[in-house]
Structure 1
Amino acid sequence: MPRLADHEQRRREITDAARRVIARGGLESATFQSVAAEAGISVRLVQYYFGTKKDFLRATHLAVSADAGDRFAQRFAALGEAAEPRDVIYAMLEELLPMNEARRRDTIVLGAFQAASLAGSGLSMDETLGGTRWLIAAVAEQLRRSCDSADTDRDATLIVLAAAALTQSMVAGVHTNEAATELLEHLLHRIPGPDAARRSE
């Protein structure tokens, strides 16, 4: 067991180093040499854990996605099973926003992967868009709990795309954390639901 834990820790050190390298210089800057230097280990050790560049890029992308999933799970647990749909949606989208330096870095990293996939390099579009598709489905599920309609899937798509654009705006320094949360609250305030009539009074 300790040996397995050591291997997992080493793999995590390498993917963390790759995240830092990509955040600073883009996907093309992540090589065996640059990641090894960032992690303070030999190139051969990186190659031992990840046989090809695509292997450690894929592992890095999965690590970013897994960290986001862990944040979502912790937030859901804190909300409890009786949480209102809008509270759940807000929690998901707020965890998506780059509210601190680590999340800002990961937003840049995910953006680099998506840009590379559009150019036909790095990972495939199916791999890079998996998280977005999951989030749209999760938001749609909560919207159906609130007020099911023929437009639920489209509404969920627009909500997630708006939140994704907001993350990029925050990274660019256009919106502060406070402004972003206000915009997110405004967006969710406009979602149809059982209390829509009360809100419009």
Structure 2
Amino acid sequence: MPKRVDHEQRRAQIAEALLRVAGERGLHAVGMRDVAAEAGVSLRLVQYYFQTKENLLLYGLHHLAEGLGARVGARVAAAGGEGGPRSVVEAVLLESLPTDEESRVFHLVYTAYAVLAVTDEALAAQPFIDGPRAAEDLLTRQLEAAREEGAAVPGLDARTEAIGLLAMSAGLGTSVLVGQRSAEAATAVLRHHLDRLFGGTPAR
């Protein structure tokens, strides 16, 4: 009998190859032929699944966001089950910092997507901003929960603080990528601000 193909697994394989190539050469330099070679499949197969480079880039963006979500979940679980609001907030922010090869590729490629979204109508229309909006909503909910539990400073403006934390994380991540500071220094800055918001309560 012919071997049954898991199409979603094959798409993910190709998307992973896209992210590796983009992490090495930059998103602007990625071609479908390069991705096929990296994935160890034919160009025809990449075209079969995605038809155009635009479709491949859109799928790659979703795959990138899913990977971040999985790593955040793993970090929260490693901290002890679901953890408190600070655990979730800290996990989201720290996973966005380029502290290892996987997170370095994430930050580099995600930043490249942000630049591309400025001029690419398909990315700018909705897909790119969906991820940042979801992260902002998640952090806002966690900060609101912490405020209601008395685990955050009184009167905390959850939405404003969520926006500020995400912007800070993005800026710190870029500063690590370009060698302005170490990942450890960036992590210390983020935790300093979390201590301010959560009254010095460590993540549990």
TM over 0.5: yes
- 1:1-201 alignment runs, 5 A limit: 3-5=4-6, 7-78=7-78, 79-81=80-82, 83-120=83-120, 123-124=123-124, 126-147=126-147, 149=155, 151-191=157-197, 193=198, 195=199
Instruction: Please identify, of 100-109 and 124-133, the stretch whose mean Cα deviation from structure 2 is larger.
Output: 124-133
Kindly indicate whether the alpha-carbon contact (under 8 Å) linking 2:96 and 2:106 is maintained by their aligned counterparts in 1. no
Q: TM-score, normalised by structure 1?
A: 0.85
**Amino acid aligned to 1:67:** G
Matched pairs, number: 192
How far does residue 125 in structure 1 lie from its aligned partner after superposition? 5.3
- Match of 1:87, SS? helix
Kindly indicate whether the alpha-carbon contact (under 8 Å) linking 1:113 and 1:122 is maintained by their aligned counterparts in 2. no
Kindly indicate whether the alpha-carbon contact (under 8 Å) linking 2:143 and 2:158 is maintained by their aligned counterparts in 1. yes
Kindly indicate whether the alpha-carbon contact (under 8 Å) linking 1:15 and 1:56 is maintained by their aligned counterparts in 2. yes
- Alignment identity in percent? 35
Question: In 2, distance between residues paired with 1:106 and 1:91?
Answer: 15
Cα gap change, 1:121/1:31 in structure 2, threshold over 3 Å: closer, same or farther? farther
How far does residue 122 in structure 1 lie from its aligned partner after superposition? 5.9
Kindly indicate whether the alpha-carbon contact (under 8 Å) linking 2:76 and 2:87 is maintained by their aligned counterparts in 1. no
How far does residue 77 in structure 1 lie from its aligned partner after superposition? 2.9
Which consecutive unaligned segments of at least 5 residues does structure 1 have?
none
Question: In 2, distance between residues paired with 1:86 and 1:93?
Answer: 11
Kindly indicate whether the alpha-carbon contact (under 8 Å) linking 2:147 and 2:156 is maintained by their aligned counterparts in 1. no
Q: TM-score, normalised by structure 2?
A: 0.84
Q: CA RMSD in A?
A: 2.2
Match of 2:151 in 1: none
- Match of 1:124, SS? helix
Kindly indicate whether the alpha-carbon contact (under 8 Å) linking 1:57 and 1:122 is maintained by their aligned counterparts in 2. no
How far does residue 55 in structure 1 lie from its aligned partner after superposition? 1.3
Cα gap change, 1:4/1:48 in structure 2, threshold over 3 Å: closer, same or farther? same
